[in-house]
Structures are given as structure tokens and as C-alpha cells.
Amino acid sequence: MSRASSAVSHPIVAAVREFVVREVAPAAPVFEHADLYPHALVARMKELGLFGALVPREYGGLGLDVSTYARVIEEICRGFMSLAGVINSHTMAALIVLQHGTDEQRRRLLPRFAAGLARGGLCLTEPHAGSDVQAIRTVAQRDGDRYLISGSKMFVTNGREGNTFALLALTDPGASPRHRGMSCFIVEKGAAGLEVVKSIAKLGYKGVDTAELLFERFPCPAANLVGGVEGRGFKHVMSGLETGRINIAARAVGVAQAALDEAARTVDSETPLPALADVATKVEAARLVTYWAAARKDRGERCDLEAGMAKLYASEAAQEAAVAAMGIVGPTSQLTAHSVERLYRDAPLMIVGEGTSEIQKMVIGRRLLEEYSVD
């Protein structure tokens, strides 16, 4: 166990750690290899209040700061990274309502998010768009006191098991620049016109449902237009990237720590100690940069630079740690009975999720030019 991770600063972190050790880690191989949704573990997270982790207490949530939330995510990912995805996508949807919704939307939706009654997700990516959010084609056409939504969304975490999604759509397809014609809606399952087309098979990140959703003139109440004003959806979605990237960094730290734990358990006289030292150093460095970014977020400071650095470094450190752990553990690391092979398959998601490493480098570079006033 690392020195940094042994410092428990909040009771919920200790509770989650015990939950992971006693319930998550033993069950993870079963859910992961069968690619089964972990209903029982998700129900326990609901009991712990984790669906309201960043929702203020006044709306029934835990009211955690981002640093504590990141510690919770790290602990979960040491046992089963997929489980954190259930909470993260949900939390991002809740934060959009918290930060950009009307007072009525907050009162109506946030208690449901906090209680886990509304199980959230993000409907952003489309089959042709990928990382280019401004290339979306999903449209929302006003029809009296509702909008009719048509389009396809890909890689929706909680797409099958969830019921409440933050969806980005075009309300003014002719707007220039294009992002000014985008609006964000809270879409709730129940009406006709929404189909879960398929669950998407993946290399890793198994056990959590990732789906393609098809909307065909799906009715969404106008009261669920986030903020009550059209044309602000792109800003709403982008504002959550800092927290999202810190979350991915925390996930990566958890996976990297798990790889280090597995490698250290196999230490013997033939273990390449420099390789073990490299992994341990990268894990601690990744943790420090992640909580540095989280602390800035908690202080209300701009942290797109720091969040980008944390996501970039931690995600690549997790990948390197998983690869190194396979070498240290040896041939048995290839067996499906060994958790190292799962970590090896899970790690690439953090490099791609919330913007690839190349995108993070562009964000970091642009911010550095801005900071140093280079024209």
C-alpha cells in the first residue's frame, strides 16, 4: 500500500476502501470475464450514497469536494475500474444540472440523482463525430412545450441500465459558429422513440454497459432544456471536462496502484527491483499531480492546464504500470485468473477517455502559450 493512499481524510474513503476489499475485489473477476453488469455492487454503492457524491447536501447528496471524490474513485478502481464508470457518467450528468440548470431543475432532478433513482449518463459522442463534439448531427426540434430529438449516440455508459441522460443536440443547425446552435437536455427514458440499439463489446472496461442509443422523434419536455435557454449546451458540456479529466486521472491512479500491488506481491530474489521502483515512482507522481489538480478545482481556480496534465500523465503511467507488472509477475500474468491481465486491458481506456493524450497535449500547450503570453 502506498504512503499517500494510506492517509484516509474522510470517513467515506474508509468506507469505500472496506467495500472494495470485502465485496468488490472478490467479485470483480466474475463480472468482468462474463461482461455482466454488477447489479449487487451498484446497489451497495447506492447505499453508500455514492450516486450523490458531488451533489450538495441540500439536495440529498454527500456534498464531497473533488479531492475526496477523486480518492473514492481511486479506491474503487483498485478493485474494479469498470465500477467507477457507473458513478462517473452519472456524476457528470448531475453536475451539468447543478452548475447550469434552473432552480426548478435542481430541485426536481438533483434529489433523484443523489438517491440513485435517476441513473445518469452522457449522450455526447456520435458514430461519425468521435472527439469532435462540434460535428454532432443529433437535432432537437421545438414542438410546443416539448422538443423532438432525432439522432444516434455512441459509447453511452449506463445506456442500457441508466434512465436519465444529459444529451447534446442541435437546436439551430444553421448557427455559426456551430457550437452556438447546440443545447443540452436532460432526457428521461419512458416515452416511445428511444431504442437501445446494442451493447458495445470492448477490450476492457467490461461489466459496465456501454451502448448505442437511437432517438427517433423522441419527446423531451421543454422544461428539461438545461438552463431554459437554447444555444448554451456546448458550454455546459465543456465546463465539466476539468472534473471529468480529474476523474479519469484518479481512475488511472487506482489501476496503476493495483498493478503495483500485484507486482509487489510477487517480489523474490529474481525480481528486477529497478522495474518495480520505476512503477512505484510513477504511481506516486501520478497521484500527486492528480490531487494537485483536484485541489485547484476545490479552490475554485481555473485548472484546465492542471487537469490536462493529470489526465495525460496518470493515464500513461497506468498503461506503463500494467505493462511493467506483467513483466515482473511473469507468465502467470497472462492467465485470466490473474488480475494483471485485466488491468492491462483496462488501462487503455484512460488514455482515450475524456480526450486522447494528443488532445491533452494540445490543451496543455495552448494554455502554456497563454500563460507565457507567447503570440
> Each residue of 308-351: pLDDT tens digit?
999 999 999 999 999 999 999 988 888 888 899 999 999 999 99
What letters, b where the CB count within 10 A reaches 16 and e where it falls short, cover 250-266? bbbbbbbbbbbbbbeeb
DSSP for 140-164 reads EEEETTEEEEEEEEEEEETTTT--E
Q: How sure is the predictor about 178, in pLDDT bands with cuts at 50, 70 and 90?
A: very high
Checking if the pLDDT of 4 tops 60, the result is: no
Are 309 and 364 in contact, with CB atoms under 8 Å apart? Answer: yes
From 357, 363, 275, select the one nearest 320 (Cα to Cα): 275
Dist. CA 305–CA 314, nearest whole Å = 14
What's the CA gap between 282 and 256, in Å, rounded? 8
Question: What are the residue numbers of the active site?
Answer: 354
Q: CA–CA separation, 262 vs 326, rounded Å?
A: 9
DSSP 51-110: GGTTS-GGGTS----HHHHHHHHHHHHHH-HHHHHHHHHHHHHHHHHHHHS-HHHHHHHH
> Model confidence over 214-268: pLDDT tens digits?
999 999 999 999 999 999 999 999 888 889 999 999 999 999 999 999 999 988 7
The residue-averaged pLDDT of 45-50 equals 97
Query: Whole-model pTM?
Result: 0.93
274-316 confidence digits (pLDDT tens):
999 999 999 999 999 999 999 999 999 999 999 999 999 999 9
Sign of CA dihedral 365, 370, 372, 375: positive
* Cβ atoms 357, 351 nearer than 8 A: yes
Point out which residues pair with 221 in neighbouring strands: 146
The answer to whether the CB of 245 falls within 8 A of the CB of 305 is no
pLDDT at residue number 374: 59
Q: Please, where are the H alpha helices in 101-223?
A: 103-115
> What is the pLDDT, as a whole number, of residue 270?
78
pLDDT at 2: 43
- The answer to whether 187 touches 217, Cβ cutoff 8 Å, is no
Listed residue (164, 159, 151) closest to 198, CA to CA: 159
Q: How far apart are CA 259 and CA 280, in angstroms?
A: 10
Phi, psi of 267 (to 5 degrees): -60, 130
- Given this model, what pLDDT does residue 7 score? 41
Q: Which domains does the chain have, with CATH numbers?
A: 11-115 (1.10.540.10), 120-236 (2.40.110.10), 240-371 (1.20.140.10)
Q: Which of 363, 135, 371, 104 is nearest to 228 (CA)?
A: 104
pLDDT of residue 5: 43
Across residues 26-34, what is the average pLDDT?
A: 94
Strand 164-170, strand 120-123: pairing: parallel
Q: Is the pLDDT of residue 8 over 80?
A: no
Higher pLDDT, 363 or 223: 223
CA angle at 198 for the pair 319 and 208, rounded to the nearest 5°:
40
Asked whether the predicted pLDDT for residue 1 surpasses 50, the reply is no
User: Which of 1-5, 57-61, 313-317 shows the lowest mean pLDDT across its residues?
Assistant: 1-5
Q: What is the DSSP string of 283-335?
A: HHHHHHHHHHHHHHHHTT---HHHHHHHHHHHHHHHHHHHHHHHHHH-GGGGS
- The answer to whether residue 108 scores a pLDDT higher than 70 is yes
Q: Which residues contact 277 (CB under 8 A, 6 or more apart)?
A: none
At a CB cut-off of 8 Å and minimum separation 6, what does 32 contact?
80, 82, 206, 207, 342
Look over the chain and give the mean of its residue pLDDT values, rounded to a whole number. Answer: 93
177 prior amide bond cis, ω within 30: yes
